[in-house]
Structure 1
Amino acid sequence: MASNVDHYRNNPLIHRDRRLGSSPSAWVRSFACEDLKPLIVCRGPIRKEAMDVFAEMGITHVGILLSEKDSIVYANALAPELRQLANHDRVHRVPDYTGATKEERVERMNQIVQIALDNGYDSIFAGYGFMAEDEEFVATVERAGLKFIGPNSTTQARAGKKDEAKRTALEVKVSVTPGVNDVAARTLLAKHRTRKQLLALVEAEGLACDAKVLADEKVELPVLAEHVLQASYARGLDLFTIDELGAQVQVEVAEMFRKYPRSRVRLKAIGGGGGKGQRILGASLLTAKAADEKAVAAAAAEAPAMVREVLSEVKATGVGDNKNVLIELNIEQTRHNEIQLLGNGEWCVSLGGRDCSLQMHEQKLLEVSVTQEALAATIARAANNGKTARAKALAVDLEILKRMEDDAARFGQAVGLDSASTFECIVDRDRYYFMEVNTRIQVEHRVSELCYSLEFANPDDPSDTFVVESLVEAMALLARHKKRLPKPRRIPRFGAAVEARLNATDASLSPHAGGVIRYWSKPIEGEIRDDQGISMPNPDTRMFMRYKVAGAYDSNIALLLTKGDRRLESYKHMARVLARMELRGTTLATNMEFHYGLVNWFLGQSVNAKPTTRFVVPYLTLVGMLKDEANKLDTAYAFAEMKKHYAKLMATENPGDAAAQKAMTDVLDRKVTLLTRVIDRFLDDPHLFAGWLSMNRRHYRIENGKLLWIRNPLGVLNDAYAYLNMAFHPRRPASQVMWEHDHELLTKSLRFYVALRERFGLKREEYYKLNEILQKEEPQDGFDAETWTRIRSAHLGYEAGNELLGLLFMVAESVRFFDFKVEDDLEVTIPEHLHDPELQARMKKVLCPPPATKADELVAPFGGMFYRQEAPGRPPFVEEGQHFEKGQPLYIIEVMKMFNTVRAPFSGTIEKVLMQGADGTVVQKGQPLFKITPDEKFVPVDPKAVERERRTRTQKHLEGVLMTFAEKFTTVEPVRFEEPEEEVAWAGVEAV
Structure 2
Amino acid sequence: MFKKVLIANRGEIACRIIRACHAMNIRAVAIYSEADANALHVQLADEAFLVGPSAVSQSYLQGAKIVEIAKSCNADAVHPGYGLLSENADFAELCQRAGLVFIGPKPAAIARMGSKVQARQVAIAAGVPVVPGSQGAVQDEEQAVQLASEMGYPVMLKASAGGGGIGMVVAHNEADLRSSFASSSKRVLSYFGDGTMYLEKFIERPRHVEIQVLADEHGNAIHLGERECSIQRRHQKIVEESPSTAVTPELREQMGRAALALVRELQYTGVGTVEFLLDTSGKFYFLEMNTRLQVEHPVTEEVMGVDLVQWQLRVAMGQALDAEVMERRQTGHAIECRICAEDPERFFPSPGTITELQLPEGPSVRNEIGVRQGDAITPYYDPMFAKLITYGKDREEARQAMLVALRQYHVAGIKTNLPLLQRVLENEAFAAGDTHTSFLHEQFGL
> Would you say the 8 A contact 1:494–1:564 is kept in 2?
no
* Aligned partner of residue 359 in structure 2, secondary structure: coil
Residue of structure 1 in register with 2:439 after alignment:
615
Maintained 8 Å contact 1:264/1:329: yes
Q: Deviations over 1:645-694 (max 9, x none)?
A: xxxxxxxxxxxxxxxxxxxxxxxxxxxxxxxxxxxxxxxxxxxxxxxxxx
Residue 42 (str. 1) matches residue 9 (str. 2): yes
Q: Is the 8 A contact 1:342 1:350 kept in 2?
A: yes
The reply on whether 1:334 has 2:206 as its aligned counterpart is: yes
Q: Deviations over 1:792-812 (max 9, x none)?
A: xxxxxxxxxxxxxxxxxxxxx
Distance 2:42 2:8 in 1: 14
Query: Structure 1 residues 182, 528: CA separation in 2 closer, same or farther (over 3 Å shift)?
Result: same
Match in the other structure for 1:570: 398
Q: Does 1:152 align with 2:120?
A: no
2:417 is equivalent to residue 591 of structure 1: yes
Structure 2 CA distance for aligned equivalents of residues 264 and 339 of structure 1: 25
For 1:490 and 1:94, locate their aligned partners in 2 and report how far apart those are by CA, in whole Å. 44
2:297 paired residue number? 445
- The answer to whether the Cα contact below 8 Å between 2:18 and 2:44 also exists between their aligned partners in 1 is no
Instruction: Give SS of 2:255's match.
Output: helix
Q: Please give the alpha-carbon distance, in whole angstroms, between the structure 1 residues aligned to 2:352 and 2:157.
A: 33
Distance 2:54 2:142 in 1: 37
Alignment partner, residue 313 of structure 2? 476
Cα offset for 1:611? 1.4
For residues 158 and 267 of structure 1, do their structure 2 counterparts lie closer, same or farther at Cα, with a shift above 3 Å needed?
Answer: closer
Consecutive unaligned residues in structure 1, runs of 5 or more = 1-32, 72-77, 188-247, 286-290, 317-321, 376-393, 454-468, 536-544, 622-839, 841-992
Task: Give the aligned residue type for 2:271.
Answer: A
Match of 1:94 in 2: 52
Q: CA deviation at 1:352?
A: 0.4
Residues 181 and 325 in structure 1, CA contact (< 8 A), matched pair in contact too: no
User: TM-score scaled by structure 2?
Assistant: 0.92
Aligned-partner Cα distance in 2 for 1:113–1:85: 17
State yes or no: 1:67 paired with 2:67: no
Alpha-carbon distance between aligned partners in 2 of 1:570 and 1:161, rounded to the nearest angstrom = 36
- Helix, strand or coil for the counterpart of 1:437? strand
* Identical aligned residues as a percent: 26
The aligned counterpart of 2:41 is: 81
CA distance in 1, matches of 2:188, 2:405: 37
RMSD: 2.4
Contact 1:335 1:427 (C-alpha < 8 Å) held by counterparts: yes
- If asked which structure has higher relative contact order (CA below 8 Å, sep 6+), I would say 2
2:286 equivalent to 1:423: no
Contact 1:67 1:94 in 2 (8 A): yes
Whether the 8 Å contact between 2:12 and 2:369 is mirrored in structure 1 is yes
User: 2:74, 2:205 → 1: CA distance?
Assistant: 51
| Deviation per residue, 1:1-38 (Å, 9 max, x gap) | xxxxxxxxxxxxxxxxxxxxxxxxxxxxxxxx4x4311
> Given that residues 281 and 303 in structure 1 are in contact (C-alpha distance below 8 angstroms), is that contact kept between their aligned partners in structure 2?
no
Q: Which residue of 1 aligns with 2:263?
A: 412
CA contact (8 A) 2:188 2:195 kept: no
Which residue is equivalent to 1:172?
126
| Rounded Cα–Cα distance in structure 1 between residues aligned with 2:56 and 2:146 | 36
Residue 210 of structure 2: SS of its match in structure 1?
strand
Q: Does 1:253 align with 2:144?
A: yes
Q: Is the 8 A contact 2:29 2:46 kept in 1?
A: no
Distance in structure 1 (CA, Å) of the matches to 2:261 and 2:311: 20
Distance in 1, matches of 2:344 and 2:283, equals: 34
Q: What is the match of residue 117 of structure 2?
A: 163
Three-state SS of the structure 1 residue aligned to 2:295 is coil
Shift of 1:86: 5.5
Deviations 1:147-172 (A, max 9, x none): 01111112212333322221111011
1:269 maps to which of 160, 172, 181? 160
Cα distance in 2 for residues equivalent to 1:181 and 1:131: 28
Shift of 1:181: 4.9
CA distance in 2, matches of 1:114, 1:606: 48
Output the CA distance in 2 between the equivalents of 1:556 and 1:503: 4
- Which of 88, 91, 112 lines up with 2:66 in the alignment? 112
Q: After superposition, what is the alpha-carbon deviation per residue over 1:205-231, rounded to whole angstroms, capped at 9, x for unaligned? A: xxxxxxxxxxxxxxxxxxxxxxxxxxx
Q: Corresponding residue for 1:356?
A: 229
CA distance 1:152–1:95, shift in 2 (3 Å): farther
Residue in structure 1 matching 2:181, options 300, 303, 312: 303
CA shift for structure 1 position 489: 1.7
Q: In the alignment, which of 53, 57, 60 is matched to residue 20 of structure 2?
A: 53
Contact 2:133 2:151 in 1 (8 A): no
CA distance in 2, matches of 1:179, 1:300: 17
| TM-fit CA distance, 1:304 | 1.2
Question: What SS is found at the alignment partner of 2:317?
Answer: helix
Aligned residues: 442
**1:267–1:280 contact (8 Å) kept in structure 2:** yes
Rate the CA distance shift 1:181–1:443 in 2: closer, same or farther, 3 A. Answer: farther
Question: Alpha-carbon deviation of 1:329?
Answer: 2.4
Is the 2:51–2:66 Cα contact (8 Å) retained in structure 1?
no
Residue equivalent to 1:555 = 383
Matches within 5 A, 1:624-635: none
Distance in 2 (alpha carbons) for counterparts of 1:397 and 1:68: 49
Answer whether contact 1:256 1:329 (CA < 8 A) is retained.
Answer: no
In structure 2, the residue matched to 1:220 is: none
Could you say what secondary structure the match of 2:64 adopts?
helix
Higher helix share: 1
Using the alignment, how far apart are the partners of 1:522 and 1:425 within structure 2?
33
Distance in 1 between the 2:25 and 2:434 partners? 43
Q: Determine if contact 1:339/1:350 at 8 Å carries over to the other structure.
A: yes
Query: Does the C-alpha gap of structure 1 residues 268 and 36 become closer, same or farther in structure 2, counting only changes over 3 Å?
Result: farther
Classify 1:122/1:253 alpha carbon distance in 2 versus 1 (closer, same or farther; 3 Å).
same
Q: Which amino acid aligns with 1:610?
A: D
Structure 1 residue 112: Cα displacement: 1.4
Say which SS state the counterpart of residue 180 (structure 1) adopts.
Answer: coil
* Alpha-carbon spacing, 1:576–1:276, altered in 2? closer, same or farther (3 Å): same
Do the aligned residues in 1 keep the contact of 2:154 with 2:201 (CA within 8 Å)? Answer: yes
- Provide, for residues 57-110 of structure 1, a one-character-per-residue CA deviation record: whole Å limited to 9, x for no partner: 1112x2111123545xxxxxx4122333454xx333223686389xx96xx222
1:126 aligned onto 2:15: no
Q: Secondary structure at the match of 2:57?
A: coil
Task: Describe the SS at the equivalent of 2:387.
Answer: strand
Indicate the SS of the match to 1:481: coil
**Normalising by the residue count of structure 1, what TM-score does the alignment of the two structures yield?**
0.43
Deviation per residue, 1:885-912 (Å, 9 max, x gap): xxxxxxxxxxxxxxxxxxxxxxxxxxxx
Superposition deviation, residue 52 in structure 1: 0.9
- Partners in 2 of 1:178 and 1:264 — Cα distance? 10
Change (3 A) 1:517 1:253: farther
CA distance in 2, matches of 1:81, 1:59: 15
**Is 1:347 aligned to residue 236 of structure 2?**
no
Give the partner amino acid of 1:149.
Answer: I
Cα pair distance change 1:133/1:153, threshold 3 Å = same
Deviation, 1:592, is 0.3
Amino acid at match of 1:617: H
How far 1:307 sits from its partner (Å)?
1.2
For residues 416 and 559 of structure 1, what CA distance do their matches in structure 2 show? 32
- Aligned partner of 1:619: which letter? Q
